[in-house]
Structure 1
Amino acid sequence: MILAGCGNGDDSDTVPGTTSKPSTPAMSMTTAAPAPGSDTAYNDADVTFLQMMYPHHAQAVEMADLVPNRSQNQQVLDLAANIKKAQDPEMTQIGALLQRFGKPAPSADASIGHGMPGMMSQDQMSSLAALSGLDFDRMWLEMMINHHTGAVDMAETEQASGTNPEAQKLADSIISAQQTEIDQMNAMLGQS
């Protein structure tokens, strides 16, 4: 199970990563009461998705920050800038949603996400940071494809199991944007 160890201790019959929603209302009663004028109802899948996606995005931003001093490829430079430009505001949105749900502020510490799909180890990040030029570009593209694929997987789990409209809209956006970038990066690797 790809989300093992990242849950919140709730032993309900809803298993993160499954494609079915709870079949009875009692199984989905982990929702907060909506505030007047806003839709803040959520379930455990929404919280897990947001809590996992925040450090996942933080690592993508960290990877993007490595590019300007190590790459001379304008396509890689532009892609890294676009990834950072997209994911910084999503991290702000994730923090705001969790706050509205009354959940703790997310952590950008990538070490907490070691079991998440697509997360790089500290050794992998150090190896990447030690490279430059074409070697850096190739490793960065390969790692970012893997990273984005993990984010798409987590967003698809949110689509299948989450209930909060804003979290689901974020998941839709992540799938659309990151799949487009995966396709772009695969094409870039094919050119090298």
Structure 2
Amino acid sequence: MSRRAGRTTGRAGRAGRAALAPTVAIALTLAIPVGTTACAGPPSAVEASAPDSAIDAATSADDLAWVAGMAAHHDQAVALAGLAAERAGDPRVAAAADRIAVAQSAEASVLRGWLDRRGAAEAGHGHGDGGDPAVAEAPEGMPGEIAASAMRRAAELEGAAFDRVFVDLMIRHHEGAIEMSEARLEASGDPAVARWARTVAQSQSIEIDRLRELAAGGAG
């Protein structure tokens, strides 16, 4: 392996680890092993005092709504980011999209694992769509929701035109995630879910700053 290839591989590895940092923090908040599913792994600390497949007494309707809503919200970000590999004109936009896709796909899995481990349905939210922008639609009225028409338009663009639309849509989408998380922080329920919401809000704020830097640098 050449020195250049080694450096490239190292950077990619560091970027991947950085993207997953919020997911690891979320999983540790609820003592959920990263990568577990509804059918694997020991029960989380939150579940320890409740029967299997039961919703803990501390869990509120606001907790369930936020977790289910954020999983669906992340699906849209992953779908939009999935377009960038073939359509982004600026390599920095493609790299940002890849980072977002890795992080939010992993987070969505943790979110759904939390619901599944409690036997809680997603209240109309799908379990994913393979990244198809035509079907990755958040529930109507969700903050930062990307309209199906906007997703289809992005799927038709390439190069600098795609970059501009991607950055704009993703910033607004992340702002919506922050709004959702702040609303949960003002509600009552499981303190662990509140910490989870705070972590999401912080990570999305950081990502918005990165996207704005891209826009200021001529990408988007």
Bin for the TM-score computed over the shorter chain: 0.7 to 0.9
Note the residue ranges of structure 1 that are not aligned, 5 or more in a row. 1-31
RMSD: 2.4
Return the TM-score normalized by structure 1. 0.76
Q: Give the Å deviation of 1:102.
A: 2.5
* Identical residues among aligned pairs (%): 31
Structure 1 segments, 4+ long, off by >6 Å, are none
Return the TM-score normalized by structure 2. 0.67
Report the counterpart of residue 39 of structure 2 in structure 1. none
Report the counterpart of residue 169 of structure 1 in structure 2. 195
Q: State the one-letter code of the partner of 1:173.
A: T
Q: Give the Å deviation of 1:114.
A: 2.3
Cα distance in 1 for residues equivalent to 2:160 and 2:62: 40
Please point out which of 32, 35, 38 is paired with 2:50: 35
Q: Give the Å deviation of 1:158.
A: 1.4
Cα distance in 1 for residues equivalent to 2:138 and 2:103: 22
Matches within 5 A, 1:134-145: 134-145=160-171
Q: 1:63 and 2:75 equivalent?
A: no
Matches within 5 A, 1:144-183: 144-183=170-209
Aligned residues: 161
User: Judging changes above 3 Å, is the alpha-carbon distance between structure 1 residues 122 and 181 closer, same or farther for their aligned structure 2 residues?
Assistant: same
Q: Give the Å deviation of 1:76.
A: 0.8
User: Judging changes above 3 Å, is the alpha-carbon distance between structure 1 residues 162 and 132 closer, same or farther for their aligned structure 2 residues?
Assistant: farther
Please point out which of 149, 157, 164 is paired with 1:123: 149
Q: Give the Å deviation of 1:70.
A: 0.4
Range that drifts further, 62-71 or 157-166: 157-166
Cα distance in 2 for residues equivalent to 1:132 and 1:112: 24
Conservation of the 8 A alpha-carbon contact between 2:167 and 2:211? yes
Cα distance in 2 for residues equivalent to 1:74 and 1:82: 12
Report the counterpart of residue 61 of structure 2 in structure 1. 44
